[in-house]
Copies of this chain bind each other. A is one copy, B any other.
């Protein structure tokens, strides 16, 4: 098998010649070879690489900030808006956070090698499942350079090689971070192909990356819905998708009013731009005339615009009429759609028809309703009596999160280290043959 250095030299050669397809193929081959080494790497070796990467980041602060200043300068010249510039910007505090992130991932339990459900079969063989890395993971993301460190650390810890394609606006920052990652890998004796940051801003690189099933086992796009939809449509490699979060809270008549108020306010106003933010509130009719005016006062304090169904409008003068589009909307903004329904059945029907199967909650004191809501709502997170904002890898105890999957196959909901692995069957026998 070819050595990692030979691949890196070839890659540089193709890059210099402007041959993007050959460059990406070489990264893919290098990653595939590195994946074999990573699959066998001890937890200790992987943790050593993560610790060395953290040290390298600390030592290279000046380089990183200088590279980031270049990106920021170019960004301002290209007229990036202030939100984008803020996401792009690095400072000592953000570098501290990356270093802390690397150390946290090193401290997480290693999912690789975990054996599940080993049992004897009548034939005398023992069968179980062993957790193993997926192989090579491709990650395509946008402006935030810290994703480079996050993605690299999670892939490495779960025993996967990765190919990282960040936004072109962050290219200098990502190149500086890549040098730290490479030095960390070398320190632990792991191949350079274990983590590769794509070093061209040519958009053809993405097209190649999503068309190499021989070298890349799964693509995880991180970014806006349009990026993810485009990649999913064109990819020849499986994609772990994170599409929209049209999340609901349904408040049942038996709900504890204080809890209902707290949950409905938190689910909407804790952060507006996140996928687990509530976008539509469903209220059971008998409790609506007491609860809604109080809720409206709380939302008014947060300057949340309310868009209601007809029955809601009759109760809340400050609400504007909701249209069909509002029931589908992922506002990611201080706007809330409100609908009064007649019972949980209607609430579930609404969620099924208009929701995105991301995260949906019920507030109720009724045991049977809670039990039924849990079983019947087909969403990646179903919550009883808590805010939808809890649908998050850290809150769920995964220790880290590479994204939230809205797919049904493989990983569903917040994806941590385990979502970057798969299980193979293992069999122990002592000479058994099939009769």
Please list the residues of chain A having a beta carbon within 8 angstroms of any beta carbon in chain B. 1, 36, 39-40, 113, 119, 121, 123, 125, 127, 130, 132, 134-135, 217-218, 238, 256, 258-259, 262-263, 265-267, 270, 349, 352, 374-376, 378-387, 389-391, 395-397, 407-410, 412-414, 422-434
Contacts and interface: CB of A to CB of B under 8 A. Distances in A.
B424 A387 contact: no
Contacts of A396: 121, 127, 425
A429 B36 contact: no
Contacts of A423: 412
Given A391-B425, A434-B387, A409 B238 contact: yes
Give the top 5 A-B pairs by smallest Cβ distance, nearest first: A386-B429, A259-B431, A266-B433, A389-B434, A409-B410
A119 B424 contact: no
Nearest to A255: B431
Given A127-B396, A389-B434, A412-B422, 4 more contacts: A127-B395, A130-B375, A259-B430, A412-B425
Contacts of A429: 383-387, 390
Nearest to A263: B433
A374 B426 contact: yes
Contacts of A36: 352, 378
A424 B395 contact: no
B125 A395 contact: yes
A263 B390 contact: no
A427 B410 CA distance: 20
Given A123-B390, A375-B113, A376-B39, A395 B434 contact: yes
A410 B385 CA distance: 30
Given A376-B40, A387-B434, A433-B389, A409 B134 contact: yes
A408 B424 CA distance: 9
B395 A218 contact: no
Nearest to A422: B408
A395 B40 contact: no
Choose among A218, A389, A391, A410 the residue with the greatest number of B CB atoms under 10 Å from its CB: A410
A395 B423 CA distance: 18
Contact of A434 (B217, B238, B270, B410): B270
Nearest to A120: B397
